[in-house]
Structure 1
């Protein structure tokens, strides 16, 4: 007999869910998720394969035993019936067939002596009926097959697995060869389905346990892997904070150990490089300071000589030879320039060494600006827009140095008229005019001094460098009266007050330098910080380095 396979009819409800996009910013979380997904995929795949193999094995074993028993009963008992049996005979035979070891329901269908179809089943009137047999199966059972060399029987045994009210059944049918009744069986597969459900639950529990185990394993692995990475991150932050002696403990021979060794080598090389640079920088500063101090002694003598020569030039007697007069004037001019350069270098050295300090006094800002302008005979070329009564506690000498540089640069590179304006500002309210009230009464916290010229302005590519040391905008005039240090010294003097200077171009034309200083720098003067020291620069109104960026 040839077997034609059917199958269970199943129903599966479609489940629609919304996917949420997650941003995994933690490497630990990503490792756990990846481990979990890999473990879930492997466990589900293994459980699915195991369930499918066990399901096929259980159903095939049960199905084979039932079909063999039914086939044997059809040959022995149904085959012994007459060609046209009575209903009682069919009923009795069906009951006997159902008492086999497999315990299935039987339905026998035959043609009676009067030509009518008679039925006999093992369960009485409420038992197995022809309506319980799928139509496709009945058609296949009753269809006579042509006899060929490979087919020796006109009828075959056919079976199909169906689900009726949630219970799976095996339904099969065949006809007695040579004439006789047609027999059908129905076998409940509920015990096998329960066994398979139990197996599915067991595999599901095993999958969940595998997932939990994978998550724990991933957590342990992430901790093992990320702990050196965390230590590396902490060490890198400490290195970035300037702690160049930071090193990592190296253990093992894996890639993380190699990374730690590489970090240690890099940190060691960086520490050595920084130490070498610091030593060279300190040597350079010491050289400049020593050179400046050494130059002051001969410069003092040269300056005295040039003053005598200058007096000779201004004398009315005309005793100096006209042939050497230009040379004398050049020596006087260059000596004055060299003296200013040495003073600038000494001032820069003090800032670099952190020995510059503030000598504070209560000043009227307008009076201070007026004194600076008057000392340099700039009254005709400078417009002052400053109301008296704006007081501040500052270092007058350093403020004079700042103003001399800013106004001198404006006059030299921008041209007249140069406008100097002063205002007082409250914290968080830029541009607030203070009027003539005292600073303490109004509660303002800073003084803003703007120096604007009406020249061509500063080129955009020069603006970021105007406060750099020795920077000059035009390479074609390297030998100018200025040293290229004036604006740098002015910015340092602003910084030591806790302020700053900014440079910009006005939309109406010309450049504007804005000095912003606190109204009271007492806190900075009292702090024993890196700028504290015992050196006090003497002299005032030197106009240090007035040729700088333009």
Structure 2
């Protein structure tokens, strides 16, 4: 037999190996896993406790019955033997003891009259001998205890549970008080072990069923919980797509119902706020458009008068009182500035209203830039680096607006010479306008395309309207292009215009390519956004 101090061991073999971590992105899956883990933990805990309690109860009951019977047999049978029995007497007594109701095997050890150790074996277990009794148990049985007030006997009954080739046994031993043989008993616990194995299988099956039930319950609970969450997600996506009339159906009084009501209230407030903002924005655009149209008529008359006054200043010297000549020149300048501002406001209004359209044509970029420079008498101040024959399908008028603003801005704030270069890049063309001025302050760079932006609060007024660069950017965007502003390492500011070689795709997508009946602005604005 093999000594396994402490009795039967529960199976708990841990297997090595590493499990890769899983990322659960589904809330439903996480709910099912959590439910399953909770159910598994509870079922395993309950099953383990039940198995342990039943195991101890079964083994203790069987053990107590066997030990009680063995103690009684030792008192009745072994205690009746003489102090130095013969081997036949030991053999006969061992057989009688083994015939008890518990059917255990007995080994009696004593010394005969000659001092020789003799053995009596019931023969119930093949090979059951003194060597099969654990050494620790033999030492405890043969150790004489000191008799005290709390210990009335020098020898006691000791027991131990052992396992031999997978079969559990209960082994016990004691000595006859007052002289006599020492008795050992061996009783198989295999029936109890089978009962415990059956119990373990039953608990394992119950645990598996509990796990399956928990998974099904988690699936049902997840479906119940996630349906409102899914509806909320769909409603949120629709709201994000601009469908502000989206609402959720509210039912019940639980937290999800409160969440749905909160979403509906938020969506309603957002719809009202957006409607108010849209109304104000529309009113503002209409006001600017109406104001610009209304101003054009008196401006036309005022412009005609100022042109006559300007001609008199230039060609009829002395016809105007020198005292009022500065005032006349100021009126002429401010009238021209006001006219440009009105034109720019009308252009901005068309962009904001989404009515600006492209009128495409095949454009030779070098010729277009030359025409823009020549029309404004900038030939002496601008250097052009562009090869003729580089064509693009763009809106010539809007391209002229962009170029006029960029080049005029460079001349006004950067100083000549201004260099304009044209390059080809895949399906795009790059037009770069560089000046030789002080450059753009770093804190101004992010705002150069903002409307009415002033780099210096001390210069709230300038010759430009403050809309030129923003209009240039809008014209680039309507082509599907972009304008960037930066400072050159060699000094000066660099504006880079990127346009597609062919903007026909944009007009095909919108389905509109009709000419714009309004004249665009060609004002140039400064780096200050002035």
Give the TM-score range, shorter chain.
over 0.9
> 1:438: which partner in 2?
none
Distance apart, 1:125 and its partner CA:
9.8
> 2:523: which partner in 1?
544
Secondary structure at the aligned position of 2:362 is classed as: strand
**What is the rounded CA distance, in whole Å, between the counterparts of 1:186 and 1:317 in structure 2?**
143
List per-residue Cα deviations over 1:297-340 (Å, max 9, x = no partner): 11111111111111221233522111111111111111111111
* 2:445 maps to 1:466: no
The verdict on how the C-alpha distance between 1:486 and 1:83 changes in structure 2, with shifts beyond 3 A counting, is same
Contact 2:108 2:120 in 1 (8 A): yes
> 1:446: which partner in 2?
428
**What is the rounded CA distance, in whole Å, between the counterparts of 1:14 and 1:402 in structure 2?**
76
Distance apart, 1:527 and its partner CA:
4.7
Worse overlay, 242-251 or 402-411: 242-251
Q: Would you say how many aligned residue pairs link Structure 1 and Structure 2?
A: 525
Q: 2:502 aligns with which of 520, 523, 531?
A: 520
Secondary structure at the aligned position of 1:514 is classed as: strand
Distance apart, 1:526 and its partner CA:
4.8
Contact 2:440 2:527 in 1 (8 A): no
**What is the rounded CA distance, in whole Å, between the counterparts of 1:248 and 1:209 in structure 2?**
38
Q: How does 1:364-513 map to 2 (within 5 A)?
A: 364-426=364-426, 445-513=427-495
Contact 1:448 1:517 in 2 (8 A): yes
The verdict on how the C-alpha distance between 1:392 and 1:179 changes in structure 2, with shifts beyond 3 A counting, is closer
Worse overlay, 124-133 or 135-144: 124-133
Distance apart, 1:375 and its partner CA:
1.2
Secondary structure at the aligned position of 1:247 is classed as: coil
Secondary structure at the aligned position of 2:252 is classed as: coil
> 2:180: which partner in 1?
180
> 2:263: which partner in 1?
263
> 1:133: which partner in 2?
133
> 2:6: which partner in 1?
7
Distance apart, 1:148 and its partner CA:
2.7
Secondary structure at the aligned position of 1:282 is classed as: helix
Distance apart, 1:532 and its partner CA:
6.2
**What is the rounded CA distance, in whole Å, between the counterparts of 1:340 and 1:223 in structure 2?**
64
Secondary structure at the aligned position of 2:28 is classed as: helix
> 1:46: which partner in 2?
46
The verdict on how the C-alpha distance between 1:134 and 1:188 changes in structure 2, with shifts beyond 3 A counting, is same
Contact 1:450 1:514 in 2 (8 A): yes
Gaps (5+ residues) in structure 1?
427-444
Contact 2:410 2:526 in 1 (8 A): no
TM-score norm. by structure 1 comes to 0.91
Secondary structure at the aligned position of 1:482 is classed as: coil
Query: CA RMSD of the aligned region, Å?
Result: 2.1
Distance apart, 1:285 and its partner CA:
0.3
Worse overlay, 469-478 or 329-338: 469-478
Contact 1:404 1:546 in 2 (8 A): no
**What is the rounded CA distance, in whole Å, between the counterparts of 1:369 and 1:67 in structure 2?**
115
TM-score norm. by structure 2 comes to 0.94
Contact 1:485 1:548 in 2 (8 A): no
Distance apart, 1:394 and its partner CA:
2.1
Contact 1:341 1:545 in 2 (8 A): no
**What is the rounded CA distance, in whole Å, between the counterparts of 1:202 and 1:196 in structure 2?**
10
> 1:245: which partner in 2?
245
List per-residue Cα deviations over 1:243-273 (Å, max 9, x = no partner): 1111112121111111111111111111110
> 1:77: which partner in 2?
77
The verdict on how the C-alpha distance between 1:125 and 1:202 changes in structure 2, with shifts beyond 3 A counting, is closer
Secondary structure at the aligned position of 1:170 is classed as: strand
Secondary structure at the aligned position of 1:270 is classed as: helix
**What is the rounded CA distance, in whole Å, between the counterparts of 2:58 and 2:255 in structure 1?**
51
Gaps (5+ residues) in structure 2?
none
Contact 1:446 1:519 in 2 (8 A): yes
List per-residue Cα deviations over 1:133-160 (Å, max 9, x = no partner): 1222222222333333333323222211
The verdict on how the C-alpha distance between 1:532 and 1:520 changes in structure 2, with shifts beyond 3 A counting, is closer
**What is the rounded CA distance, in whole Å, between the counterparts of 1:311 and 1:46 in structure 2?**
107
Secondary structure at the aligned position of 1:119 is classed as: strand
Distance apart, 1:471 and its partner CA:
1.2
> 1:433: which partner in 2?
none
